[in-house]
Amino acid sequence: MIRIPAPCLSAIRAAAEAAYPEECCGLLIGRDGDAGDIVVTAVEPSPNRAAGDRRDSFEVDPQLRFDVMRRLDKMNAKGGQAERIVGHYHSHPGHPPLPSARDLEMAYEPEMVWVIVAVGDDRATDVRAHRLDEESNQFRAIEIVTENPLKRS
């Protein structure tokens, strides 16, 4: 299960709508929860750096990812809540929020959560989360629980 505060989920949906008809993308920042779940504490939008047609592909800006990793390392070194990049989000314009064959090819980090937003006619219609099952090399759906407050420890 992944817990996403309502403001973060709203930001993801808004990014998907703003990028339409191209894919949006960004990083999910958070931590491991007490019950084996993942708790998102922030989202970091990224320009889509995919080469070629961005209507069916995405690439998070590598510099952004390094910058976020450095920032989190500094925060964690100061004794804060241990946060990390827990996944990323992207949109599927005109398609369901299910991982594509291209998504499967790009799934190098099985611990990462993939949040996918379906967008049709400029509107985000559905949001789903997935993780890669290393044994079957297939994605499996995981539950999204939306929490109202944005809690950062």
Residue pLDDT, tens place only, 74-133: 988 887 678 999 999 999 999 999 999 999 999 889 899 999 999 998 899 999 999 999
Residue pLDDT, tens place only, 10-38: 999 999 999 999 999 999 999 988 888 99
Show Cβ contacts of residue 97 under 8 Å, excluding neighbours closer than 6 positions.
116, 117, 118, 126, 127, 128
Of the candidates 44, 13, 9, which has an alpha carbon nearest to the alpha carbon of residue 26? 44
Distance, CA of 20 to CA of 55 (rounded, Å): 8
Average pLDDT in the chain: 92
**Is residue 153's pLDDT more than 70?**
no
Please tell me which residue, 71 or 122, carries the higher pLDDT value: 71
Q: Hey, what are 6's tokens? A: 């309502």
* Identity at 57, one-letter amino acid code: S
Domains of the chain are: 2-147 (3.40.140.10)
Angstrom CA distances, 135 to 70, 87, 138, stand at: 31, 19, 8
The pTM is what? 0.92
* Identity at 135, one-letter amino acid code: E
Unique residue bearing structure tokens 């499967």 = 104
What's the confidence (pLDDT) of residue 78? 83
